[in-house]
Amino acid sequence: MCGIIGYTGSEDVKEILLDALELLEYRGYDSAGIALSDRAGVRMFKCAGRVSDLRNVCRRETSGTETVPGEPARSDGSAERRVQCGIGHTRWATHGGVSDANAHPHQVGKVTLVHNGIIENYRELIEDYDLGGSLVSDTDTEVVAALLNRFYEGNPQEAIRKTVSRLRGTFALVVMFEDHCGAIYTTRNVSPVVATLCEQGAMLASDLTALCRFTGRYFVVPEYHILELREDAVRLTDFDGNETEPEYFTVNWELNSAGKNGYPFYMEKEIMEQPQAIADTMEERVRGGLPDFSADGVPDTLFTDCERICVIACGTARHAGLVAQALVKSILHMHIEVEMASEFMYSDPVIDEKTLVLAVSQSGETIDTLEAVKYARRRGAKCLSIINVRGSSIARESDYVLYTNAGPEIAVASTKAYTTQLVIFYLIVARMALLRGVFTTEETQSYIRELQRTPDTIKEVLGKRRDIHVVAGKLLAAKDLFMVGRGLDYSILLEGSLKLKEVSYIHSEAYASGELKHGPIALITQDTPVVAAVTQEKLMSKELSNIREVRSRGADVVIFIKESIAGNLAEEYELITLPDMRDEFMVMPASAALQLLAYYVSSDKGFDVDKPRNLAKVVTVE
């Protein structure tokens, strides 16, 4: 879960690396570093802290007169043109605590290395190759640098092949060799690396966010291949030394879509982008008023031949799966499980060729989900993935992919990815209902028309953000908080509770409100705020009686309620009313409202909303 960047070309390498690391910081942000290389040698700058702290280190350590490796030599104004080459890293600590010494890059002898992943056998390697004496950090990465240096006899590819053959674990290695000035090498296993050759030179990064300000064309570095980057060429070889051509993808992420566009935090920007992201995700998938996946190359047989469905995902993506589960059961009357990807392979799942696996992942790199997909496919299941990042590892591992068109999601807390995942699920359920004769054509069109109201409905919710901000102000002092609801409201609140938990650090728990009496209500006091969701008309009366139970025990309650059923409840409770949709679509406005609630609590508490403590945007370690 770290961010890696490499650049070689004629531009200012230090600024390119630092700017890119700021864009990649959401992948990990406890320490950062860069290494700049040219004929004079390799110069490292690194520190615990954020990229902004690293910028200060760079300023402090270059007195302004000397030339930093890679920067054009200043002479009489006719700066000599030199290749600028360097690598950078922003870290989410796994092996070794947060310190300057443990920050990447790591340099041993002629080798300078940054790494994303976990080397499981690094201790054995220290013993087997007696590397202890050359190590100054507690990291597994430095062990790899030492091994590379041990095997390096002038041929980078040879040294990389020998080293990698002795590694166990996941890795993305990005290496510079002192006597190969201007060249950067990378190889990977599971951890992601994308690369490009563009007019500014050659670049590689952990993900597209760092590249899309330069180009929309990129390729994924295949596993167990070695990519050599030079300012005017890239060379991809497999481990037998055979050269292969990179397979380029084109991304449609606009330059400024990876910036904040004036918002204080990416999370707010991404919440506000949802109406457009939802419209973009539906575009080309509704033809004649009916759901249509022909543009995605997804065959109808995938939906007609399966006997059961298994959703595999983590976190917010799994919560989207819970909504899908409610739709599949209530409309298709099919068996459907929603599996926590990290538990999936250890739970003896019932998976076979009649199972349709739906893998959900914003990043497409979550290793738990990736490994679960590989496991399910080995058991004969067909896998359709719902992914936001094109060409990502899970997308490449799947039989078919439906991309959400949410654009780059930078904030660690997932928002627009979640609601666009839901859009894809609504379209899948409608397509299956039509194909299986559960819906007539007219019923399907009516369902899709309701889905097409979502962007405007969410815009209405976003228009209520001042009211939601006021409610958020009443939760700032809470240490514990309950979110209660039944059925689909419970699924809505599981996601709302995760949002609040991960950005405000309030211990928020979502509970099926009928379950409270079986223990959890013991925790309700006048200091325990309760957030309720009441959007399902058939559940309203029972939900209200559960709300009265917690109210009678002193809890302050705010209810997010469907407008048309609010009646005169405002006389008794604090309400946030939500614009009406058919019950099964109310998750959309309710989720946007709960996203805003979490956002305002966090921002009013003065936290860095986009980079919550201990978290990273992409979880690429098991």
362 binds ligand AGP (CB under 6 A): yes
Give 54 or 376: the residue with its C-beta nearer to ligand AGP. 376
Give 394 or 539: the residue with its C-beta nearer to ligand AGP. 394
Piece in contact with ligand AGP (CB under 6 A), picked from 63-71, 308-316, 344-352, 552-560: 308-316
Binds ligand AGP by CB under 6 A, chosen from 6, 315, 349, 496: 315
Give 258 or 317: the residue with its C-beta nearer to ligand AGP. 317
Q: Which of 2, 47, 310, 383 is catalytic?
A: 2
Piece in contact with ligand AGP (CB under 6 A), picked from 21-29, 355-363, 396-404, 462-470: 355-363
What sign does the dihedral 451-457-459-465 (CA atoms) show?
A: negative
Give 47 or 417: the residue with its C-beta nearer to ligand AGP. 417
Rounded to an integer, what distance in angstroms lies between the CA atom of residue 59 and that of residue 54?
Answer: 9
Give 142 or 409: the residue with its C-beta nearer to ligand AGP. 409
2 is catalytic: yes
Give 343 or 352: the residue with its C-beta nearer to ligand AGP. 343
Residues 400-419 within binding reach of ligand AGP (CB under 6 A): 412-414
Residues 558-597 within binding reach of ligand AGP (CB under 6 A): none
Q: What are phi and psi of 255, to 5 degrees?
A: -55, -55
Binds ligand AGP by CB under 6 A, chosen from 361, 398, 504, 602: 361
314 binds ligand AGP (CB under 6 A): yes
Contact 310, 349 (CB under 8 A): yes
Piece in contact with ligand AGP (CB under 6 A), picked from 84-92, 221-229, 234-242, 310-318: 310-318
392 binds ligand AGP (CB under 6 A): no
Rounded to an integer, what distance in angstroms lies between the CA atom of residue 583 and that of residue 552?
Answer: 28
| Smallest gap from residue 463 Cβ to ligand AGP (A) | 24
Residues 1-20 within binding reach of ligand AGP (CB under 6 A): none
- b/e per residue, 330-347, with b = 16+ CB within 10 A? ebbebebbbbbbbebbee
47 is catalytic: no
506 binds ligand AGP (CB under 6 A): no
Rounded to an integer, what distance in angstroms lies between the CA atom of residue 23 and that of residue 397?
Answer: 26
Piece in contact with ligand AGP (CB under 6 A), picked from 39-47, 118-126, 315-323, 457-465: 315-323
Taking alpha carbons only, the member of 134, 221, 249, 228 closest to residue 180 is 228
- b/e per residue, 3-17, with b = 16+ CB within 10 A? bbbbbbbebbbbebb
The neighbour count for residue 467, using CB atoms within 10 Å, is 15
Give 268 or 583: the residue with its C-beta nearer to ligand AGP. 268
Binds ligand AGP by CB under 6 A, chosen from 102, 342, 363, 620: 363
Binds ligand AGP by CB under 6 A, chosen from 211, 309, 317, 598: 317
**Angle CA(576)–CA(578)–CA(580) in degrees, nearest 5?**
155
Rounded to an integer, what distance in angstroms lies between the CA atom of residue 578 and that of residue 566?
Answer: 9
Tokens 């799947």 appear where? 398
Residues 366-385 within binding reach of ligand AGP (CB under 6 A): 366, 369
| Residue 199: partners with Cβ closer than 8 Å, 6 or more residues away | none
* Residue 264 Cα to chain centre, angstroms: 20
| Torsion angle defined by CA atoms of residues 569, 572, 578 and 582, in that order, rounded to the nearest 10 degrees | -40
SS3 18: helix
| Smallest gap from residue 52 Cβ to ligand AGP (A) | 22
Q: Which residues bind to ligand AGP, rule: CB under 6 A?
A: 314-317, 361-363, 366, 369, 412-414, 502, 618-619
Catalytic positions: 2, 617
